[in-house]
A = this chain, B = another copy of it.
Amino acid sequence: MHPIGVIHSPFTEKDKTPIQASRSQAIGLVEIYAEFAGGLKDIEALSHIYLLYAFHDSDGYTLQVRPFLDDKEHGIFATRYPYRPNPLGMSVVKLLFRKENYLTVEGIDTLDGTPLLDIKPYVPDFDLHTEVRVGWYETRSKK
């Protein structure tokens, strides 16, 4: 794994960073390193993209955590908590526009300086599921 770019965001402190992209209207700038810019062809036709990134500021993990949205412990894999066995983060953001190897996005929820590992198109035909049970998030995710 090696970064393909870096996410610039207004969030420089962990405890002031939004819990999830959907809760954020913050604007971020996704910089793709010049050597990977060719991989962006046609991305401007997409309205939403997944960012996959490293939780670079999260050292170590425990298998059960009390997530930000709850006061009970859950298994790490039933949460989005950033301290994970593999510190991989994922957010869906809205792509506002592209200028060369810079993507301006809305709904950023990552720390400034987060190393970007991959970008994937958000495709409702693949990614949108509506008949969903969300376990402990049921009462928490709208708070």
| Chain A residues within CB distance 8 Å of chain B | 1-2, 4, 20-22, 32, 36, 38-50, 52, 63-64, 73-80, 84-86, 88, 90, 92, 94, 117-137, 141-142
A77 to B5, CA, bound (A): 12
Give this chain's copy count: 2
For A86, the chain B residues whose CB sits under 8 A away are 1-2, 4, 52, 117-118
Cβ A78 vs Cβ B137 within 8 A = no
Cβ A78 vs Cβ B130 within 8 A = no
Instruction: Specify the main secondary structure of chain A where it touches its partner.
Output: mixed
Q: When A75-B42, A78-B41, A126-B22 are in contact, do A134 and B121 touch as well, CB less than 8 Å? A: yes
- Who on chain B is nearest to A52 by CB? B88
